[in-house]
Structure 1
Amino acid sequence: MDKLHDKVAANIGAVLRQLKERNNVTIHQIAEAVNVTDGAVAKYLSGERKPNKQVIKRLAEFFHVDQKVFAGTDDDIINIALEQYTSAVNQLNALKESIAEAPLNKVQEYINQLKEASNEVDKAKEALHSLLQSSKPVTYVPVYANKIPAGYPNEVGTDDICDWYVVPSEIPADFAVNVTGDSMINAGIDDGDIVFATINTTADYGDIIIAVSENGEVTIKYFIQKDNQYFLMPANPDYKPIPFTNDFRIVGIVTGILKEPRPYRDSR
């Protein structure tokens, strides 16, 4: 389940590296613009840390791009790399055209500039080629808040969706739900996380399911059977099992979790 978080962070890091190079800015300049430390930006660039939504908003404003760029799809990264390659080629061609008119005392300077521009083209070409070779298909999945109205996730309108997320295609997911509450903390699902799920109307014993009540309230629980009765079982001893009756319907089985960073708490 950490695989999803790592993939998202890595893709955002790749986008940010391309934007940094294209705009010729330093780590410190980015850090000042988005009000974080230089170390935090370095971790964003390396893919070690995923920036939160507020930081992503500031990054988008700083680089004058749409926030969706930081969803981190392979297409977004490739498009940025393609722009960088095209820009490098155009700069090289412009230098080639101007060298014919260069005064003799400037020829060596132009030759040096041509070599540098040619190196930039080679680097941009290599980066683009590498991305094209390694790119993998991704899936956009809708994220619901804490309610899924009548109908299954693929039947509701876009007004019921609070966000969209990009998921690597190797992770099965049809929709996602924002987690509220702590009833599944011992299953590694915390308040503020996003859980991804495939659409299912049935489940096997022990599956973590997403069930919806008659009024559209969503609950995430283990699906358990005891004494010929099915229950929605929490992963927190502070909560009691909920009998699975006709008031509930299964809409999905959890396949992944995207963890949100936790604030520091002093344990002293």
Structure 2
Amino acid sequence: MKKRSLNPEQAAECEALKNIFKARAKSAGVTQTDIADSLNVTQAAISHYLNGVNPLNARVAAVFAKFLGIPVRSFSHRLADEIEATTEAARLGLRGLDDGENFKLVELPQMVYRYPVISWVSAGNWAEAVQPYPDGHSDRYEISDYNSKGPAFWLEVKGDSMTAPSGTSVPEGMMVLVDTEAEVAPGKLVIAKLGSGEATFKKLVEDGGNRYLKPLNPAYKMIECNEDCRIIGVAVRMAAKL
């Protein structure tokens, strides 16, 4: 049986996704095979979606968006609306409908995002970077459910200055996800660049109108965050490395 041709909207969605994939796949470290494995289909099937042979659906669109770190709406308003409507219905507690209804809820994949793991040297140079993820910037990526407000990256915690005897503690070896455009405010855990060019991970506090970088480990001293101190980003997620 001959396949039905895509309508203009479906064809435009495939074309838009193909252009985004070409522009972002290399820097995101994503291949068609990665997406095929996630969807449990062949690489040829992924090629068919990108080349407009088969129309995109909500599940396929969500997986592409997850791997490329983009919103579905960037290539398909139709599927973005479908996903949002289904998610909202699930949030309101709706369940399966009677057989007489012409639609039903479907389970959608959880949205996750891929971010590069970078070195502390790269983190310290972040403010001077010409582009967020230059070629060769990282050969390792980790995922998170956090949808960053700006370019984001993972860092592996060094030392024990953020290891606390009680309460919040971020021991050595823990991975922290840093959002470079998250709101900076006292009480947040931040990555800061000091005048020496060194990057450091501390809690931002304010006292008497002055800002300080406070270790969670009381054995370490606070550092004044003066004019030579630049906040690179805010730690928004933490993950253990096993």
TM-score, normalisation: structure 1: 0.45
Q: Highest relative contact order (Cα 8 Å, sep 6+), 1 or 2?
A: 1
Larger Rg: 1
TM-score, normalisation: structure 2: 0.50
